[in-house]
Each structure stands twice: as C-alpha cells, then as structure tokens.
Amino acid sequence: MAHRVVIVGGGAAGMQTALELKSRGIEPVIVERDIELGGKARGWYKLFPSFTPAGDVMRPLAERVKRERIRCFYGQEVTEFAPDGVILRSGERIPADAVVVATGFTLFDAHRKQEYGYGLYDNVLTSVDLERMMNSGAVTLADGSMPRRIAILHCVGSRDEKVCQKHCSKVCCITGVKQAIELKQMFPEADIFNFYMDIRMFGPGYEELYREAQERHNIHFVRGRISEAAETINKRIQIKAEDTLTGRPLRMTVDMLVLLVGMSANYENAELAKRAGLELSPNGFFRTVDSFLGAVRSQREGIFFAGAATAPKSLADTLAEASLTASAVDEYLKNSFNK
Amino acid sequence: MTFFAPFTIPFIVGTIFLFVAVATKWILWIARLPKVDRRLIAHNFFSLGTLAAIWEVVRESLLHAKIFRRNPLLGFMHMSLAFGWFLLIVVGWIETIVYLGFEMIPLQGHVFFKYFMPLNGIEAHIPLFEQLMDALLLLVLTGVALAWFKRIASKAMGMRRATKHVLFDRIALSALWFIFPARLVAESLTAALYGGNGFLTGTLGGFIGELLPTEVLTTLYEPAWWFYSSALGLFFVAMPFSRYMHIFTEIPLIFLRRWRLRPTLERKSYDNFEVEACSRCGICIDPCQLQEDLGIHDTQSVYFLRDRRYNMLSLKVANNCLMCGRCEAVCPVGINLTTLRINSRAKRRNIPHEGRYRYLTSLDRSSGEGKVGYFAGCMSSLTPAVQHSMERIFEAVGEAVWYADKDGGVCCGRPLMLSGETDAARKMVAYNTDLFRRHEITTLVTSCPICLRSFRENYHLDGIEVLHHSQYLDRLIAEGRLSVKQGEESYSYHDPCELGRGSEVYDEPRRVIEAVGELREPRHSRRDALCCGSSLANTVIGDEQQLRIARRMTRELEETAADAIVTACPLCHKAIARSTHHTVVDIAEVVARNIAE
C-alpha cells in the first residue's frame, strides 16, 4: 500500500510537491483553505524577469493535479498537524505517514502603513492590486482616466522595524522593475518613479532587467523611502520623500501610487508551531533545520516544509524547493517504514 | 545641673554637624533661586497658601496620608517612624518643662532626660509622662520592626521591588535602625537601677533587674547610653548626605510649592528641593514598565534622582525613560519627575546653528479660514484617517476651520523638549504661536496629545482655548451640534499618557465613545493606564523593546473582547496597531463613522 502524505496548502509549493510525490508512487493529499488551488500566484499577470504569463505556469500545475487524481480538500483549514496526520477545523483527522507544510505567506497589510493612504485614497494601490488590474486588462485611475505620473514604492512592510517586519521580502525589487516596465509599455507618455532603499537584483536576468528599465524605458529610480502621502483635491497623490543621493527633501504629486507589499509570516504559524512542537524564526516564518542539507526539514521527523512557509521566496525558488521536499519525504518514508 | 556627660559628645557633635549642614544647604539653595522664584515667595508668603502648606506638612510629612491610601501597612510604617519620633521629641520637651520649668536646658538635657533625671531624682513624679513616652517609643519601635520586615518581605507591604541603596543610605539606615532599640535598652537599664514604672521600659527594667546582678547592670549602664548617643550622632552626620535629607527638604518644598514655585525646562536652584525631597521609598519602581516588561532596573525615578543628586547622572539613565508619568502619579512627595528628567537632558543639548531655522521665516502652509484652528500634528500625518475623520466632522457641523498644518506644518516642539533641545524647541514654539495669533483663532483643536500638552504647558496662548479633539467632539455632542447614532459595536479604550496623566483628560473620550457604542475598560485604565511603549521621550530602548511593552498593554485591551480598540493619540495608534491583529481606530474615526444622517 502506498504511503500517504498530507500537504497543507495548495499553492505552487503544495501542488509541485504533490506531483513529485505522486510520480514516486506516494499518495499525496492536499488540504487547501481556499475553494480552489493556486495560492497567491493565482490571478497574477506576468512573472519576472521573463514576462511569462503566470497562467502558463500555474494552469498546467493545477491541471496535472486534477489529471493525476490527487485528492484535494477545499475550503478546509488545518488546525493542528503532527508527523502522523493533520486535524481539520471541522474536527476531521486525516492520518498520514508524513506531513508537508506548504502554507506560504501572508501579504503585508498595506493598511498598517496608514501614512501611505491605502484604503483612504482612491489611487493608492498595492502591487497585488495592480497585477489583478493588469490581468483584467484595464489599468486606469479611479475615475477611469490614464495615469501620467506613477510612483512605485519599494519595501512596504519589508525591512521596516516600525511594523515589525525586519526581513527582506526578496521579490519586490524585481517586481517593482517589472511592473514599471509594464506600466511604461501601457502608458508610454507616463513618468514612472521607483522609490527604493536598495535595489537587490540577485537573480538571473534581474540586473539586466533593471538596466533595461533605466536605459530603454527611461524609468526613474530615486533612492529614498516615501515618508507620507496625501490626497489632493483632484484625487492626485502628493508624496513626501527624501532623495538620499542628493540629500534633499522632495515633494511630488503623482496620479497613482503603487505599494510593493512584502511577505509576512502567517499569523497562525505561532499556534500551529506550538501544537506541532516546531520552532519559528524571529520574523514568524517556520524555522528549518538549517539552510543547507536541512533546508526543507523541520525540527520533527516526518514534518517537512515547501515554499514560502519558511522564508520569502520567488515562484521559481518555490517550485525548485518543492521537488527537493518530495525527495526528502520519499527518503524519509523509505528509511522509516520499509526496513 | 550641667546636663553634661561624656557619652553625650557623639550626639552633640552629630547635632551641630547636622544643623550646620542643613542650614548651609537651605541658605545656598534659597540664595541661588532665580529672581522670578524669589518674587513668587515674597508675593505669596502672606497668603492662604502658607496655611495650606502647614496642613500639608502635617498630613504628608508626619502622617504620610498618601502612602496610607496606597497601602495601610506601608503608611503605618512611615507614619510611626515620622509622627512617632516627632511626638517623642515634643512630649519629651513638655516633660522637661513640666518637671524643670522654663529654664535653659541644653538639647542633650531633653534627649537624655532619663539619664540626667532618673525617677529617684524627681520629687513630684507624674507617671502619665512615663506611660506616654513608653507608648510613643513602642510606636516608633513598631515602625522599625516593620522596616526590617519590609526588607525581607516588601510584597506584604504592597511593594514588589524595594530600592537598592547606596553606601551613605546604608550607614544612615543602620544607625536609624539601632537608635530606638538602643534607647529602649538604655532606658530599661536605667529603670532597672533607679526604678520607673512605664509599661515598656519599667517592665523590661524590672525584668532585667531580677535577671542580672547589680554589678553587671552598673557596668552596662554607661556603655548603653554611649551606644544610644553614638547611634544618634552617626545618623545625624550621615543624614544630610543620605536619603534622610528628605526630612528637612520636603517641608520647605511643600511651602515653596504652595507659593507656586515650579521646576522648568532649564535647571534651577529650586530643583534641589525637589531632588533632595526624594526619600527613595521606591514606590515609583513597581509602576515602571521598563522594569516590569524589560527588566531595566537602574533608570527608575528613584535612581534617576539619586544619580542626579550625587552628580553621577549618566546620559543613559537620563534618557532611558518613557516619561509616561506612571511614577509621578504615585510619588508620595509629588515630585515633578518628568520636568526634572527633561531639564537633566537639557544640560547636554546641542545648540544648532541659527541658519538652520531660516526656513521658518515667511513660511505659512496653512489653509482655510475660521475662528477654530485645527492642528493635526506631525504624528497625525502618519495616521491620515484621523485628519480625514476630523474634516468630515467639521463639515458635518458646519464649522469654519483654519487648517494649520494640512499641507505640512512646523512641529509643536515637544519632541525636541523631551530630548532636552529646549533652544530649538523655542523656535518652534515662537513660530507656531505667531502663526496662531496671525490667523486670529480663538479655539485650537489638536489630534495629538503630545502637541496638546506642549500647547498647554510650554506655549502662552492666552485668549486661545486649546482642546484635544476628544474634548472638542464631546462638546459638539453635548451641545447637540453633532448628532451621532448609537451603534452596537463595543470599544476598548486606551488612555494615551500625554492625554490622561499628562493633560488630565479622562472623561471626555469616554463620553464620546459611550455616545456611539459600548465602552470597555482594560485592567489598567485612567491614571493607572499602561504606556504603549513608543514614547518619543525614550531614546535608549529599541523597537523590539518598545514592542514588548506594547504587547502587554495591548493584551489587556484585547482581553475586553471589544470589537475594536480605540485610542486618541496617533503615536499610541501606531504602537497598538503593530502589536495586535485586532482593529485599532482613533476616536475621531469612530465618531465620523457614526454621524447621524
């Protein structure tokens, strides 16, 4: 009889782990909180740095899960997990031989940086809102007109002690560059400004894209965080910042302000970790054994991680890690049960 | 009779030393008072304030009424020592006068009366005095016993932590602890040898007399009196340098305070009275959240005043304070701890270049017109929902408003004051005062309690009524200008330090909340409310530590299980919002949402 592995979370990490396990003859079961698979990447427009449509990656994954007849629980939340299974909110217990935690992350709630006016001003949106707008094919201001000047603010809820988010969310810098280029292609006449602290272009093709944004698309990069935003009478956004390269304070009025929201740890992690006897990193993400050979292993035998549950990760990193998780689970099952 | 014996020498030396030392301190402190303060004394000397001061001295310096209210046992300890000793002196004095008439008797004659005038030397002996003096001695001894007890079990007396003392305090304390037991022994021995029928010394004397042979008693007699005199002498010598200087400082302080002298943002001679009036009782330690939440044990007011008094105040101690005012609220002496802390910081200020303030000239970003001025405050720029709500409310009641800082304004100056930059702060004060005057407003509404306190305490805005927005909203509702709908939602209210303890505004925000929903109180509220930890006044602790302070405070708010947490300070709002997943709103938002159509 095939071993059963419960995967908590049906996003990119969960689906990829499930598919890899299935191909190794193991029976994966996915428990998804939402009513369908896909996680945060669902509804995303295009992926950096290649501008690949997100659907081209996510759709085949979900279709394969269906084709492989992998059992999925939808709209179900896991309240407790242990190496021998998980307990759902409904009280139902799913027994298993191992558990993979692929619970991902929570988007930083931009309302918490009230000074940027998210939720207060019509033309302040998050990078996620913008992605959805682009997906729906209509990027406009609240009144339906075209933006002529756009500011993109990096590190909203990342590297910000004031909101207890000390870590770097890793993907926002390149997302900011990607979205700036997309906006520029949509509105060639518009001026686009990226406000940043540091530009972290570590991945393959990232730096090249960053140069392209400046050289080919004439996108402006200002080193300095925006301190506050206010709405003018005609619904434009007045921002205050400091250009730290010239050392001068700066006031600017833009039509649209895009907040690159970071990745926060899930609020539920603390309770789940406590019940399962796992540890958390100071930033609230699950702690792995180490970041080398134990990068997908937890402190308890039989509980594994995949994806952004342990740290902010790009989709590419997540997919690669999920395969690694599947192989680690396989090895564990072989060693523990087939003696 | 000469009233002299060699054993009295330590007492006499100690007493003379004490009088000279205290007199020197008083004279120097008063002589160095600034002219304003001296004028205040001259002006208020013959006033009801003086009478009130006398009554306060009895109530606080002798009876310790405030400590009684805090913890009866602790109050009794302080009262028995202070009032008991005082009565011993007074009754002893009367005793000598009754027996010897109004002749000139040196001080040691009064103090060691039993030695010079044992019972057998008195013809018309009045037993009442003996019983009374014994009763008083017992009262003081109870106080001493309680003081010992407090050392081992301070919790039983309402104090979780007691003060850690310096060397001089320990010397004085030890001497003090010995004085009254020594007196008991000396007087009992005297009773054993010469008779006496007080219920305490007489009984004990009779007991010793039966137990020990006369030769032993006579050998012990002189050393016992030597010991008593030496304990007194040592205590008196240590007194001016120890915590016990508070006895001679609190009394003039009470008078000066009644004559309206106050500490200011700059240090002055008056501060000496406040600093040395601290008895280091340590009552300020327990309420300090730095102590409770962060385990910082060396910056509480008692240690700050001690360090300042002995000129060993470090920048770290001076700066490591939230200035939440929780210690000031419980200080039995009523010392202005916050102002003293501020002016200690002022000593180390940087004086910036004048050119830096050039931007202030001809700067006016204000907008609108009206008799009511609205000053949101810098922190409110980070919580724009407050400003929006206020604008909606102003619109709803049709108030003509002049917006002082809608498009950016100049800081009220309090953050600078709190870090001791008084000169820089004055530039802001002057600028804003001029701005308010120029626009001829009669009411100034601010959404920031930090600004509120600064306008009230550091500005001279005669003719302009300064209100916090919670007060303004309360008034609008009370006057019927703003009609709100009573909703189903429940709100847990957090008292901001600068609004509550700092500006004594407790009831208005509560009435406003009750007008729109259900009010719930956290465990600590009003004068006892906890600080959010993000105070501008503390420049030492980091974000992590601020968060730890905030978490305990927020937990209490969450425990009320209210639908939302409400506060009335943008800084508290930020601090609470980052330490909870519950909804946090400003009181203005709550009102704006519930405006009746």
With 60 as the cut, is the pLDDT of residue B295 above it? Answer: yes
Query: CA triplet B235, B236, B242: central angle to 5 degrees?
Result: 70
Contact across the interface for B388 and A162, Cβ inside 8 Å: no
With 90 as the cut, is the pLDDT of residue B3 above it? Answer: no
Residue type, A29: V
With 60 as the cut, is the pLDDT of residue B396 above it? Answer: yes
Contact across the interface for A228 and B383, Cβ inside 8 Å: no
**What's the pLDDT tens digit per position in B34-55?**
999 999 999 999 999 999 999 9
Average pLDDT (B391-403) is 96
pLDDT category at B423 given cuts 50, 70, 90 is confident
SS3 assignment for A204-248: CCHHHHHHHHHHCCCCEEEECCEEEEEECCCCCEEEEEEECCCCE
**What's the pLDDT tens digit per position in B516-555?**
999 999 999 999 999 999 999 999 999 899 999 999 999 9
What is the model's pLDDT at position B397? Answer: 96
With 60 as the cut, is the pLDDT of residue B139 above it? Answer: yes
With 80 as the cut, is the pLDDT of residue A122 above it? Answer: yes
Query: CA triplet A94, A99, A102: central angle to 5 degrees?
Result: 110
Query: Which of B382, B579, B581 lies nearest to residue A267, judging by beta carbons?
Result: B581
Average pLDDT (B223-232) is 95
Q: Does A114 touch chain B (CB under 8 A)?
A: yes
Mean pLDDT of chain A: 95
Q: Does A148 touch chain B (CB under 8 A)?
A: no
Residue type, B349: R
Q: Which residues of A touch B407 (CB under 8 A)?
A: 230
Q: Which residues of A touch B546 (CB under 8 A)?
A: none
- What is the spatial distance between Cα B24 and Cα B18, in angstroms, rounded to a whole number? 10
Contact across the interface for A164 and B574, Cβ inside 8 Å: no
* Domains of chain A by start residue, with CATH: 4-105+265-337 (3.50.50.60), 110-262 (3.50.50.60)
Contact across the interface for A115 and B581, Cβ inside 8 Å: no
Q: Which residues of A touch B408 (CB under 8 A)?
A: 240
Q: Chain A to chain B, count of Cβ pairs less than 8 Å apart?
A: 33
C-beta separation of B334 from B249 below 8 A: no
Candidates A115, A165, A269: best to mutate against B (most CBs of B within 10 A) is A115
Q: Does B385 touch chain A (CB under 8 A)?
A: yes
Contact across the interface for A164 and B385, Cβ inside 8 Å: no
With 90 as the cut, is the pLDDT of residue B70 above it? Answer: no
What is the model's pLDDT at position B498? Answer: 96
| Nearest chain B residue to A161, by CA | B543
Q: Does A271 touch chain B (CB under 8 A)?
A: no
Q: Report B:455-484 residues touching A (Cβ under 8 A).
A: none
Q: Which residues of A touch B581 (CB under 8 A)?
A: 267
pLDDT category at A152 given cuts 50, 70, 90 is very high
| Nearest chain A residue to B388, by CA | A120
Give the closest-approach CA distance of B33 to chain A in angstroms: 44
Q: Which residues of B touch A120 (CB under 8 A)?
A: 384-385, 388
Angstrom distances, CA of residue A316 to CA of A90, A307, B106: 34, 10, 96
Q: Which residues of B touch A114 (CB under 8 A)?
A: 382-385, 577
Q: Which residues of B touch A161 (CB under 8 A)?
A: 543
pLDDT category at B577 given cuts 50, 70, 90 is very high
Contact across the interface for A114 and B581, Cβ inside 8 Å: no
Give the closest-approach CA distance of A339 to chain B in angstroms: 47
pLDDT category at B1 given cuts 50, 70, 90 is low
The residue that leads in pLDDT, A101 or B358, is A101
Average pLDDT (A303-329) is 97
Q: Does A117 touch chain B (CB under 8 A)?
A: yes
- What is the spatial distance between Cα B579 and Cα B234, in angstroms, rounded to a whole number? 53
What is the model's pLDDT at position A2? Answer: 87
| Nearest chain B residue to A232, by CA | B407
What is the model's pLDDT at position B106? Answer: 86
Contacts of B139 (CB under 8 A, 6+ apart): B80, B84, B87
pLDDT category at B364 given cuts 50, 70, 90 is very high
- What is the spatial distance between Cα B418 and Cα B421, in angstroms, rounded to a whole number? 7
Alpha helix ranges (H) inside B212-312? 214-238, 246-258, 270-276, 289-294, 301-309
C-beta separation of A331 from A127 below 8 A: no
**What's the pLDDT tens digit per position in A176-227?**
999 999 999 999 999 999 999 999 999 999 999 999 999 999 999 999 999 9
With 90 as the cut, is the pLDDT of residue B2 above it? Answer: no
- What is the spatial distance between Cα A165 and Cα B66, in angstroms, rounded to a whole number? 45
What is the model's pLDDT at position B347? Answer: 66
What is the model's pLDDT at position B121? Answer: 64
Q: Does A267 touch chain B (CB under 8 A)?
A: yes
pLDDT category at A154 given cuts 50, 70, 90 is very high
Mean pLDDT of chain B: 92
pLDDT category at B348 given cuts 50, 70, 90 is low
Q: Does B577 touch chain A (CB under 8 A)?
A: yes
Burial of B100 (0-12, 13-18, 19+ CB in 10 A): middle
Angstrom distances, CA of residue B430 to CA of A79, B266, B413, B420, B460: 59, 17, 10, 17, 10
Q: Does B494 touch chain A (CB under 8 A)?
A: no
Average pLDDT (B292-297) is 94
Q: Does A120 touch chain B (CB under 8 A)?
A: yes
**What's the pLDDT tens digit per position in B140-174?**
999 999 998 888 888 888 888 888 888 888 989 99
Q: Does B543 touch chain A (CB under 8 A)?
A: yes
* Domains of chain B by start residue, with CATH: 6-247 (no CATH), 282-346 (no CATH), 359-474 (3.40.50), 484-593 (3.40.50)
Q: Does B536 touch chain A (CB under 8 A)?
A: no
- What is the spatial distance between Cα A106 and Cα A126, in angstroms, rounded to a whole number? 14
With 60 as the cut, is the pLDDT of residue A270 above it? Answer: yes
What is the model's pLDDT at position B119? Answer: 65
Query: CA triplet B298, B300, B306: central angle to 5 degrees?
Result: 80
Q: Does A162 touch chain B (CB under 8 A)?
A: yes
Q: Does A69 touch chain B (CB under 8 A)?
A: no
- What is the spatial distance between Cα B335 and Cα B327, in angstroms, rounded to a whole number? 10
Give the closest-approach CA distance of B595 to chain A in angstroms: 18
Strands (E), B317-387: 367-368, 372-375
Q: Is the peptide bond before A53 cis (omega within 30 degrees of 0)?
A: no
The interface predicted TM-score (ipTM) is 0.86
Q: Which residues of B touch A283 (CB under 8 A)?
A: none
Give the closest-approach CA distance of B422 to chain A in angstroms: 25
Contact across the interface for B577 and A112, Cβ inside 8 Å: yes
**What's the pLDDT tens digit per position in B455-506?**
999 999 999 999 999 999 999 999 999 999 999 999 999 999 999 999 999 9
Which residues on adjacent β-strands are paired with residue A257? A124, A151
| Nearest chain B residue to A240, by CA | B408
Query: Which of B385, B408, B574 lies nearest to residue A120, judging by beta carbons?
Result: B385
What is the model's pLDDT at position B4? Answer: 87
Q: Which residues of B touch A267 (CB under 8 A)?
A: 581
